[in-house]
Amino acid sequence: MGLLQNKVGFVTGAGQGIGRAIAISYAREGAKVVIADFNAEMGAETVQLIEQAGGTAAFIQGDVSKEDSVKEAVDFVVATYGRLDIACNSAAVSRGSGPIHEFERSVFDQTLQMCLTNTWLCMKYELAAMLQTGGGAIVNISSNSSLKGHAFNTAYAAAKGGVNILTKSSAAEYGAQGIRINAVSPGVIRTPGIENYFKEQPDMAEGLKRAAVMNRLGEPEEIAEAVTFLSSDRASFITGQLLSVDGGGAVR
Ligand SMILES: NC(=O)c1ccc[n+]([C@@H]2O[C@H](COP(=O)([O-])OP(=O)(O)OC[C@H]3O[C@@H](n4cnc5c(N)ncnc54)[C@H](O)[C@@H]3O)[C@@H](O)[C@H]2O)c1
């Protein structure tokens, strides 16, 4: 029996990268999964990968930084599979980098919206659904940029710092109601998102590629393993924690 047998899961940003690996892992461990993403083609591809492997999944297109989309997506989960037990909020977009005194206010605002506000919005509706059935587990995807700070990437680092404290505060708020809330902090992981970032910011790329003490990039599946464990009943007494999965990047 899989770790997530009989559970219903929801994963945001599962059209590619880390979110896709998490959705595949949830399904492999027996969960029925709804995936949400901007990108309909990639979302459909994730569903196909899950179904080809014998799993069960459905896709809903939407922008999870918009409240209407989030409500629609969580309603879709409950309408399709009857409940929501586990959720991973992985969707995020990092917009721009540069020194603060030259940074556009609008880009700062967008970054908060796409990395922090979206997570809060997803939690708002996921928690409401989980309260209907007496419990659940949420895992938010943070970033190692939130741990020591990230020069020239301050908006993203601050947004992910917000995700960390949102995770801890909400864990304290909902623990008594049977909902566990944790975060996973990836190091530098080989995804389409990071490959684009390396192309756009070649000056940052070399340092990032050397971030892990293990001297390699991480793979999305390595993040998915940690998220799957934290989502499962094996982690039944773990809440309010931030787990770095970073090849030791945080201890360098
Ligand atoms: N890759 C890394 O090295 C790394 C490191 C630290 C943290 N992270 C975090 O991991 C998560 C996933 O990163 P990734 O590298 O896989 O990204 P990615 O860009 O490869 O994939 C992100 C996916 O999320 C979707 N998405 C983004 N915002 C969305 C929104 N508002 N609504 C719907 N869909 C949306 C995109 O369409 C895309 O399919 C993010 O939270 C990111 O900040 C990644």
Residue 192 confidence class, pLDDT cut points 50, 70, 90: very high
Q: Are 12 and 89 in contact (CB under 8 A)?
A: yes
Q: What is the pTM of this model?
A: 0.98
The closest of 139, 189, 145, 144 to 166, measured between CA atoms, is: 139
Residue 157 confidence class, pLDDT cut points 50, 70, 90: very high
- Give residue limits of the domains in the chain: 8-244
Amino acid in position 49? L
Active-site amino acid positions: 156
Tell how far the Cα of 20 is from the centroid of ligand 1, in angstroms. Answer: 10
> In the structure, which protein residues have their CB atom closer than 6 angstroms to any atom of ligand 1?
13, 15-19, 36-39, 42, 63-65, 90-93, 114, 118, 141, 143, 186, 188-189, 191-194
Candidates 64, 70, 188, 191: which one to mutate for ligand 1, based on the most atoms within 8 Å of Cβ? Answer: 191
* Structural domain 8-244, CATH architecture: 3-Layer(aba) Sandwich (3.40)
Say how far apart CA 95 and CA 163 lie, in whole Å: 17
Tell how far the Cα of 91 is from the centroid of ligand 1, in angstroms. Answer: 5
Tell how far the Cα of 93 is from the centroid of ligand 1, in angstroms. Answer: 6
Most confident segment among 40-49, 191-200, 205-214: 40-49
Tokens (6 digits) for 100: 């603060």
Predicted confidence (pLDDT) per residue in 195-211, tens digit: 998 998 888 788 888 99
Q: Are 211 and 104 in contact (CB under 8 A)?
A: no
Pairing of strands 179-186, 56-61: unpaired
Report whether pLDDT(214) > 90: yes
Report whether pLDDT(175) > 90: yes
